[in-house]
Amino acid sequence: MNFPIYMDYHATTPLDQRVLDGMMPYMTSKFGNAASRNHSFGWEAEEAVETARKQIASLIGATAKEIVFTSGATESNNLALKGVAEMYAERGNHIITASTEHKATLDTCKRLEKHGCRITILPVMADGLIDLDMLREAITEKTILISIMYANNEIGVVQPIAEIGRIAKEKGVLFHTDAVQATGKIPVDVTKDNIDMLSLSGHKIYGPKGVGALYVRRRNPRVQLTAQMDGGGHERGMRSGTLNVPGIVGLGKACEICRDEMPTESKRLAALRDKLKSALLANLDETYVNGSIEHRLPNNLNISFAYVEGESLLMGINDVAVSSGSACTSATLEPSYVLKALGAGDDLAHSSIRFGLGRFTTEEEIDYVIGKVTEVVKKLRELSPLYDMFKEGIDLSKVQWTAH
Ligand SMILES: *Cc1c(COP(=O)(O)O)cnc(C)c1O
């Protein structure tokens, strides 16, 4: 085994060697600008970009012409939301999203709100799913866009995308989904699910960092976006800027590999994840899985270990790279807004750990993590007066705490 063990695949993934091999020529001898029309260097680069477009389209049930390359999913989300808000301003100004979205969506909505948009942020239920009746009720005459993520990056919960797509289509509202965590991990089909725009990112699927794409539907309906970057009019006028050819080649190759290997990979990871979950829940009491288990990515496990500080647990298992449910912002530790949206108290949110499994996770690593987490949680609880009181049967919610 190699230490530290990487179990944070939702944050980023290592580059697959096969992806790097595909990219290398485009960083060395095949360095042309894909927009150069006058010589073979340009043609060669353009051909590689078109191959990548097909590989990406094929993973999500789209056509090559519907793929717009960006610098990553943050940009894709910005382009989708701002591009629609600007283009369809005469039709309406209302956008619907959800409380557990990535900041790239929520903060873009905040910005649009400052510019006159009305934003509805749907709450989620205790299992992390949105309520479809609430979605239906939120739609008004002025609604131009619904943006709901495919799968959540903290808790791996997969939203009812096909149903959301159906509702959006019925009401004539555009539907964008941030599918960064879902593409390449579970089957995604923009046609079947009536998705009008979809964001994806290279570095979450064993491709390079700094490259992503936005799928933009061309037919039924034809989605139009106001460009957010002015310049040479690349990408059908939607995103100017010289194409990142090696990055795009890598993104394409990464999508092709995911498409070929998804059936076996997802089954393998789900089995490892289930082993991790069952063992931790069996070894440790007062341990809870956050978010729906049924509607969940195969590679995600998010667990709260009551009476244990996530940060202390992280330090105790410092040879395992995972994330905690606390976001370190300047001086304070904020509990995760995603876990809070599920109704978790600050305590449970602070005691949560996200385990993200991936292509290079082995069973040996899972076994090590089970042993290590069990040992450290037990040790930390031995030091916890609250856990002692809980063991003695004292109802902590009824204790009157006084400050001295
Ligand atoms: C990582 C991530 C993003 C941001 O993607 P970048 O390519 O890093 O900008 C957006 N949404 C979700 C759900 C993510 O996990």
- Residues 307-348 pLDDT 10s: 998 889 999 999 999 998 776 554 567 889 999 999 988 888
Domain residue ranges of the chain, discontinuous segments joined by +: 5-10+263-398, 17-258
Handedness of CA 109, 102, 147, 197 (dihedral sign): positive
Residue corresponding to tokens 């449970």: 348
- 5-10+263-398 is classed in which CATH architecture? Alpha-Beta Complex (3.90)
Mutate to test the pocket of ligand 1, among 10, 81, 101, 178 (most ligand atoms within 8 A of CB): 178
Q: How many residues does the chain have?
A: 404
pLDDT: is 190 or 346 the higher one?
190
CB 212 within 8 A of CB 71: yes
Q: What is the pLDDT of residue 311?
A: 87
Q: Dig out the tokens for 186 from the structure.
A: 């579970």
Tokens of 33: 């600008």
Distance of CA 283 to the CA centre of its chain: 30
Catalytic pick among 117, 255, 258, 328 = 328
Retrieve residue 222's tokens.
């034809």
Domain 17-258 = CATH 1.10.274.100: no
Answer yes or no: is the C-beta of 239 below 6 A from any ligand 1 atom: no
Nearest-CA residue for ligand 1 atom 9 is 74
Sign of torsion over alpha carbons 280, 282, 288, 294: positive
Nearest alpha carbon to residue 57 among 47, 72, 67: 67
pTM score of the predicted model: 0.96
- Based on the residue annotation, tell me whether 117 is a catalytic residue of this protein: no
Ranking 175-184, 323-332, 355-364 by mean pLDDT, the lowest is 323-332
What are the b/e assignments for 207-218, b being 16+ CB within 10 Å?
Answer: bbbebbbbbbbe
pLDDT per residue as tens digits for the range 44-72: 999 999 999 999 999 999 999 999 999 99
Return d(Cα 252, Cα 385) in angstroms, integer: 53
What pLDDT sits at residue 330? 47
What was the pLDDT predicted at 287? 96
Distance (Å, whole) CA 79 – CA 67: 13
Q: 161-165, 199-203, 350-354, 360-364: which range is least confident on average?
A: 350-354
What confidence score (pLDDT) does residue 196 get? 98
Average pLDDT of the residues of the chain: 95
